[in-house]
Structure 1
Amino acid sequence: MRISALLGCGVIVLAGCGSMPVSGDVKAVDASQPGDSQVQVYAVAPREGAPPSEIVDGFLESMTSDDPAFATTRKYLSADARGTWRPGGGTTVLAQAPNRSGPLLHDEANRAARDKETTYTLTGEKVAEIDAQSSYRPLAPADYSQTLHLVREKVAEGKEEWRIDVVPDGLVLGQSDFRRLYRSVNKYFFATGLTDGRPTLVADPVYVRNRTDPVTRMDTATQTVRTLLAGPTNWLRPVADSRFPEGTALRKGVTALAPDDQNVLKVPLNGKADKVGRSACRMMAAQVLYTLRDLTSARVERVELEGGKGSLCALDADDASGFSADNGSDGADSQYFINDKGQVERILGATDGTEPVTGPLGTGTVPMGSVGVARDEERAAAVSAQGQSLYVSSLEADGELAAPLVTSTAKKAADRLSPPSWDGRGDLWVADRNPAGPRLLRLAGGTGEPQEVRVPGLDGARIEALRMSADGVRIALLLTKDGRTTLNIGRVERRGSSVVPKISVEDLRQAAPQLTDVTAISWSGRSRLVVVGKEEGGVQQVRYVQADGSTSGSGALPGVNQVQSVAAADDELLPLMAETEGDGIVKLSPGDNWQTVLKQGTSLVYPG
């Protein structure tokens, strides 16, 4: 069995694929080097007279290839299975490539039956699943076991060969092959249930093939637009929808999309979108612009949608910015922290100097322990040093500190209020960790009576910390249960009316199940978080995690000692900040190493 791989302009034959064992051993099949997305693997058909073990190994290796329509892969299957196997039925991701085990040669009892049929078992450690919508779901590592049944079947010229006749739908891949073959992309939809009437785009992460998809023969950009037109994933669907009319699809035969030399991308659609109005059409174009903005090698500056009867509308990238989730200030986000007197200060740009913020939080006499700054940087919320009271104050005008909006009655400081967080809609969120009555609270517009938010999926866990996404429909929660603190992402559902809203956090899903002790989180961009935590028995690490829980090979960040909190901006070009026990406040700029900014300071945050 051989599989060829193309790297750059050279062709290599992967070592270890030249011969296959015929005994019933256990073998891990791994057709690529970890993380090497430039390796292109080509499948090779089964050789004449191949034993069952070689057929199984060849089938598994072929699944890791760029085999068009999986035509070669299907040659390992029986005639019936060839027609019914659905490789697009989902993907199982294992920590390593699957092991296979089969009948032992010394097992004489079933030797006669094995001359006509045999069974092999695939095993491994399952760490994730990708469903038919291309949506990723991380899993706590669990045992994986699946059976392949083989029979001898007549092929050309009446010869009998071993073929697989019972095979599960979908693909099974090791993590290294999955990362080589697929990439994470964000498709964008409009948030529903929000009351201010401003259309807001929400990122919906999915995985598409790095190059041409074997089934559809579409390039990466076309695959991405195709999954955008299919609508939101099931997890996001209750809080987001598409402006594309139902049934809208790419025009038949479209397999490649790329901007022209003026960075204009034309998207030919079927006739389902012909009757949309100009406003809806521009929102459709905004969905495409945001979805493809970081995907194509040349940045898309304009999208032109074409329907069944010609041009529909066009939208420039600058005009699409009005649909951004972050209703922030016009300039680059500032960093804020609390000094040794419990007052809020701002870090001054490139000079890394500091100054007190305007208003009572910068000059007041009530020491604060944590702070959250609204995304427009006009107001801030701060929790008192002992966690008892939540205050909201202007950052633009002097004055007296107003009365607290929330007060916790818990006896211990650690059981009182969490650090606050603002979403992009201007709403303020905080958790009261009081064991006698734990609550997640939302203050609409950052003012008025706090409203309790239902979180039905807590299952006895306690909210330690929270961070709201800019779009306002996702919340990151640190939940503690049985001595372990894990990262969970919840969907914020809004029902009822603007006068009597009913808000809940639904469908909690663990976003980094490999980390059993998470101590700090921050949103970084539209659909990514920075996470500080440890694997069981491991050391502290700082890494990026996608909102769907997936990680890339480059997710880990340079080491820094004893991180207590992290702060990242929606603009991913701004430096990542961290508060450490030994080095004070440090920053990590793109392509640089950690640098000390301040020797003292706590509760470091960007707006949000």
Structure 2
Amino acid sequence: MGADREGSARRRPVRAVAYAACGAVVLAGCASMPDSGDLRDVESTPRQDTQVRVFAMPPQQDASSTEIVQGFLEALTSDDPNYDTARKYLTKAAAKTWRPESQAMVLANGPSLQTDPRPAGREGTNSITYTLQGSRVATVDAQQAYTPADGSYRRTVHLTRDAKSGQWRIDSLPQGVVMGRSDFQRNYTSVDKYYFASDTSAGETGQPVAVADPVFVRSRVDPTTQLVRSLLSGPTTWLGPVVRSSFPTGTALKKGVSGLTPDDQNRLTVPLNVKASRIGSVKCGEMATQLLFTLRNLTPTVDSVALQSVNGAHMCDVSEEQAEATAWRASTKRPDYLYFLDGKHRLVRMATGGTGTGAVAVPGPFGAGTKLLRSVAVARDERTAAGVTGDGRSLYVSSLTSDGSLGDAVLTSHGATEDDRLTAPSWDARGDLWVADRDPAKPQLYMMAQGVGQPVAVQMPELDGRIKDVRVAADGVRIALVVEKDGKQSLLVGRVERTKSDDQQEVSVLELRSATPGSEEVTAMSWAGDSRLVVVGREQGGVQQTRYVQVDGSTPAGSAPAALTGVLEIAASEDDRVPLVARSKDDGIVRLPSGDQWQKVVKDGSAPVYPG
């Protein structure tokens, strides 16, 4: 529950705002209260500078019932670590049973307050009910996982007046907290925590594959300790079936530990409880790697992580270099080349770090033009490529290190038209190849082990619509799909589960969820980080835009890519140092270096891709 709302009351409580940069403490009403004139409700608490700390104010003596509710909602948007001030607005019994950490409900403009009509008499003077209303945007659950939501929000808050003190207090309320979107953006930040793919398959170097699990933590309430606790508690429910943690079950921070911060050598020491006492050096290194990947996502200045036993003994430590040698992570693997099809539909490439616009044909049949291609995908090791022929009918796999023959097609579609045939293919770090057949008579997603195995029909019991585009995550346990239904295209992310039955591999994509709620048309998409995608599309009644989205459906902090009209295809790398590349209807292949404007690469080209 929080500010960011349209209420019926005309007075608003005050709360302290501490400016860390200057050390001053001032009083401000809801952080957006005018300096003079009448006190009025505001629609939204403006975004605060990251140096501003907001502290809740306790209830004032003889505050009205409306002021109590308003003050309580304001207290929920403060930086009070344990919501101690918010509990002062509750009766003692309600304060004991209220669990603010159980859920955060995010509303478009915050909750509006409506007083429920009550009959006159004693009950009407000593008891009152308010209804909190608003439009739902998302929920963050007890695991700190974000889920988009829609529809209306309507919950009641009941107050009683103490017979002895005459003070109003809340004695019945919903569990969790509720606040408007701008207060949520000010109070919470999205961070990836890392686990390992649980399948026995490994990345291209034989290392365990790191998988990002995005969560939201309170950004100014000891976020480092929060994030460590979240990592130790295990993966979110959605990701849990396909990942593992190297931390033994029950591992937690040593009792009483809080305020974790790096030392002057940018090294963070993490004291653990007795559950982590009996582990080997390999397992300890994996644990420290999980922590370092996770913490660098929040605090990039952390250079190393050390684990400490419950009795204070040193267990192990890892540096960034050691962590990257322990586990494979897509965002640390810079691709050597950008690939695309030239005007003759041959596969060409150019160095990712180059400043020129020259591209050369790749070695092998795809570069020689043996088959005219429509779309391509290059394996993560950049030694193999897959290409769909110009008519969309056939999928071929070819080496990029030799001039050998092309061989037979590994998959053929029987769709009547080009748009009813094969999508662009996609590779994961295991070396497995994914593609969808859009044939209306037999639509199907396929996976081919190592790109040459027998196509495995992927089970998708929840799919409602036809797949138009496929991009598997590097970790091989998440997949992004553009799905069309009734003329609308949605971007969905699913969990990949692999099992073996009678020595036959079975693959399923389960629990599909929207990464772009509200979108009506998704034109193109690509993975652009460990848990981020770049999407070209438009919302209902809107114009085409290019933006970043998280796999959980949230919008990441930071600016969107520079505007570009007529985008037909887009390519990004998980490594954000590599330029974004697109195919524009008017300008052909273009790229966007960091902090720059779009630059032309070649007018006559198509299907730009990075490895993956």
Same fold per superposition (TM over 0.5): yes
Show the counterpart of 1:71: 84
2:407 aligned with 1:390, yes or no? no
Question: 1:589: how far off?
Answer: 1.8
Taking a change above 3 Å as real, the CA distance of residues 303 and 516 of structure 1, as seen in their structure-2 partners, is farther
Q: What is the RMSD of the two structures over their aligned residues, measured on CA atoms?
A: 2.3
Question: 1:6: how far off?
Answer: 2.8
2:442 aligned with 1:437, yes or no? yes
Separation of aligned partners in 2, 1:331 and 1:409: 37
Show the counterpart of 2:185: 179
The number of residues matched between the two structures is: 590
Matched letter for residue 47 of structure 2:
P
Separation of aligned partners in 2, 1:110 and 1:538: 50
Separation of aligned partners in 2, 1:587 and 1:414: 27
1:188-207 alignment runs, 5 A limit = 188-196=194-202, 198-207=207-216
2:545 aligned with 1:541, yes or no? yes
The question of whether the paired residues in 1 share the 8 Å contact of 2:192 and 2:297 is answered with no
Show the counterpart of 2:95: 82
Matched letter for residue 580 of structure 1:
S
The question of whether the paired residues in 2 share the 8 Å contact of 1:28 and 1:97 is answered with no
Compare 124-133 and 362-371 and name the one that shifted more.
362-371
Separation of aligned partners in 2, 1:498 and 1:489: 29
Show the counterpart of 1:449: 454
Matched letter for residue 497 of structure 2:
E
Q: Secondary structure at the match of 1:293?
A: helix
Question: 1:594: how far off?
Answer: 1.9
Show the counterpart of 1:578: 582
Separation of aligned partners in 1, 2:154 and 2:231: 33
The question of whether the paired residues in 2 share the 8 Å contact of 1:328 and 1:377 is answered with no
Task: Show CA shifts across 1:331-369 (max 9, x none).
Answer: 643111111211111124222211111111011242100
2:480 aligned with 1:476, yes or no? yes
Unaligned runs of 5+ in 2: 1-12
1:181-580 alignment runs, 5 A limit = 181-196=187-202, 198-212=207-221, 219-296=222-299, 298-308=301-311, 310-326=313-329, 332-348=335-351, 349-459=354-464, 461-496=465-500, 499-580=503-584
Question: 1:80: how far off?
Answer: 1.6
Taking a change above 3 Å as real, the CA distance of residues 284 and 477 of structure 1, as seen in their structure-2 partners, is same
Residue in structure 1 matching 2:124, options 104, 114, 117: 114
Question: 1:448: how far off?
Answer: 2.7
2:141 aligned with 1:131, yes or no? yes
Unaligned runs of 5+ in 1: 213-218
Matched letter for residue 263 of structure 1:
N
Matched letter for residue 200 of structure 2:
L
2:16 aligned with 1:4, yes or no? yes
Task: Show CA shifts across 1:193-235 (max 9, x none).
Answer: 23357422111111111122xxxxxx21111111111011111
Compare 1-10 and 449-458 and name the one that shifted more.
1-10
Question: 1:393: how far off?
Answer: 0.5
Show the counterpart of 1:215: none
Q: Secondary structure at the match of 1:602?
A: strand
Question: 1:16: how far off?
Answer: 3.2
Separation of aligned partners in 2, 1:47 and 1:149: 19
Separation of aligned partners in 1, 2:454 and 2:300: 49
Taking a change above 3 Å as real, the CA distance of residues 329 and 229 of structure 1, as seen in their structure-2 partners, is closer
Separation of aligned partners in 2, 1:392 and 1:205: 34
Q: Secondary structure at the match of 2:151?
A: strand
Quick one: percent identity of the two aligned structures? 46
2:113 aligned with 1:100, yes or no? yes
Matched letter for residue 490 of structure 1:
G
Matched letter for residue 86 of structure 2:
T
Matched letter for residue 508 of structure 1:
L
Taking a change above 3 Å as real, the CA distance of residues 53 and 327 of structure 1, as seen in their structure-2 partners, is closer
Separation of aligned partners in 1, 2:144 and 2:333: 35
Taking a change above 3 Å as real, the CA distance of residues 329 and 246 of structure 1, as seen in their structure-2 partners, is closer
Residue in structure 1 matching 2:154, options 132, 136, 145: 145
The question of whether the paired residues in 2 share the 8 Å contact of 1:269 and 1:308 is answered with no
